[in-house]
């Protein structure tokens, strides 16, 4: 089975940096996804990590440690539009993804 | 690329009625997934297809739920004898292939309210 844990809510200030953590337990590891979901909208892909380390993509970076079963999403220079739910997901070897319950990020002025 | 489309966007029904939702994936995508999402939760896997073949159905899914993808293109999800607990957002997603690094493209969902 697969178990994914994320904090339920986080709050940060516009212009700041925030780190959203995800821990997972899987019977086999096939990478880890991060998706962004604005309220009332569909999730959209942010990143995929399969090797240890940090992958940077503009203001967003994602980190993975396979030995610790841990990932984080780092958001820099926060903007109001970054207020959303951030979902961590792990795929099985058949490609089906299991999602965490998401972290709702609120960015305040 | 018109994206994944779902119809209807909203559905209100009375308990005991049957409902059917439709999903049109991105045209060249072979994989099609159905997920269900309730407020404050992440998407919960229901079932998925590789072309027209249904490869897996969640054990949490009762026999009232059935999905088809008859020609390997669009898919329908039917819920029979709806219950109030079926109220949720039903999300469809597609991906090009079966590789583990294939990202999902989601539709905007169908919001079901069972009264």
B74 to chain A, closest Cα gap in Å: 18
Burial B12-47 (b: 16+ CB within 10 A, else e): ebeeeeebebebbbbeebebbbbbbbeeeebbbbbb
Tens digits of per-residue pLDDT, B23-35?
999 999 999 999 9
Residue B1 has pLDDT above 70, yes or no: no
A6 to chain B, closest Cα gap in Å: 11
Q: Which two tokens stand for residue B96?
A: 């090009």
Instruction: Kindly list the residues from chain B whose CB atom is less than 8 angstroms away from the CB atom of residue A98.
Output: 45
Residue A1 has pLDDT above 70, yes or no: no
Measure CB to CB from residue B100 to each of A30, A41, A45 and give the nearest one. Answer: A30
| CB proximity A91 to B under 8 Å | yes
Tens digits of per-residue pLDDT, A62-72?
999 999 999 99
Q: Residue B5: closest CA among chain A residues belongs to which residue?
A: A42
What's the CA gap between A76 and A64, in Å, rounded? 17
Tens digits of per-residue pLDDT, B78-114?
999 999 999 999 999 999 987 878 899 999 999 999 9
Query: Does the distance separating the beta carbons of B101 and A50 come in below 8 Å?
Result: yes
Residue B53, Cβ neighbours under 10 Å: how many?
9
Tell me how long chain A is: 109
Residue B77 in contact with residue B90, Cβ under 8 Å? yes
Query: Does the distance separating the beta carbons of A94 and B108 come in below 8 Å?
Result: no
Instruction: Kindly list the residues from chain A whose CB atom is less than 8 angstroms away from the CB atom of residue B99.
Output: 95
The pLDDT value recorded for residue B59 is 86
Instruction: Kindly list the residues from chain A whose CB atom is less than 8 angstroms away from the CB atom of residue B4.
Output: 42
* Residue A95: band (very low, low, confident or very high) from pLDDT cuts 50, 70, 90: confident
Instruction: Answer left, alpha or beta for residue B95, where phi above 0 means left and psi between -120 and 50 means alpha.
Output: beta
Query: Does the distance separating the beta carbons of B100 and A92 come in below 8 Å?
Result: yes
Residue A46 in contact with residue A60, Cβ under 8 Å? yes
Which residues partner with A21 through β-bridges?
A: A72
Residue A76 has pLDDT above 80, yes or no: yes
What's the CA gap between B76 and B6, in Å, rounded? 10
What's the CA gap between A21 and A23, in Å, rounded? 7
* Residue A48: band (very low, low, confident or very high) from pLDDT cuts 50, 70, 90: very high
Instruction: Kindly list the residues from chain B whose CB atom is less than 8 angstroms away from the CB atom of residue A33.
Output: 103-104
A contact residues 54-83, partner B, Cβ 8 Å cutoff: none
Residue A29 has pLDDT above 90, yes or no: no
The pLDDT value recorded for residue B60 is 78
Tens digits of per-residue pLDDT, B38-81?
999 999 999 999 999 999 999 878 899 999 999 889 999 999 99
Query: Does the distance separating the beta carbons of B95 and A95 come in below 8 Å?
Result: yes
The pLDDT value recorded for residue B95 is 94
Backbone angles phi, psi at A82, to 5 degrees: -80, -10
What stretches of B14-87 adopt beta strand conformation (E)? 19-24, 31-37, 44-50, 53-57, 65-68, 75-79
């Amino acid at each position: 089975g697969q178990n994914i844990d994320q904090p339920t809510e986080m709050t940060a200030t516009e212009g700041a940096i925030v780190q959203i953590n995800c821990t997972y337990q899987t019977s086999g590891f096939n990478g880890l996804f991060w998706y962004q979901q604005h309220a009332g909208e569909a999730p959209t892909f942010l990143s995929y990590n399969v090797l240890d380390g940090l992958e940077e993509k503009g203001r967003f970076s994602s980190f993975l440690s396979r030995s610790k079963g841990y990932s984080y999403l780092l958001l820099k220079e926060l903007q109001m539009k970054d207020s959303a739910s951030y979902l961590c997901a792990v795929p099985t070897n058949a490609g089906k993804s299991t999602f965490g319950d998401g972290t709702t990020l609120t960015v305040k002025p | 690329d018109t994206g994944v489309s779902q119809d209807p966007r909203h559905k209100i029904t009375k308990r005991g009625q049957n409902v059917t939702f439709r999903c049109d994936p991105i045209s060249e995508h072979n994989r099609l997934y159905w997920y269900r999402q309730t407020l404050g939760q992440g998407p919960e896997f229901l079932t998925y297809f590789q072309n027209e073949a249904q490869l897996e159905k969640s054990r949490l899914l009762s026999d009232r739920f059935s999905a088809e993808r008859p020609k390997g293109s669009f898919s329908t999800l039917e819920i029979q004898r709806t219950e109030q607990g079926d109220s949720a957002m039903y999300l469809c997603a597609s991906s090009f292939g079966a590789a583990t690094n294939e990202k999902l493209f989601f539709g905007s969902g169908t919001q079901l309210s069972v009264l």
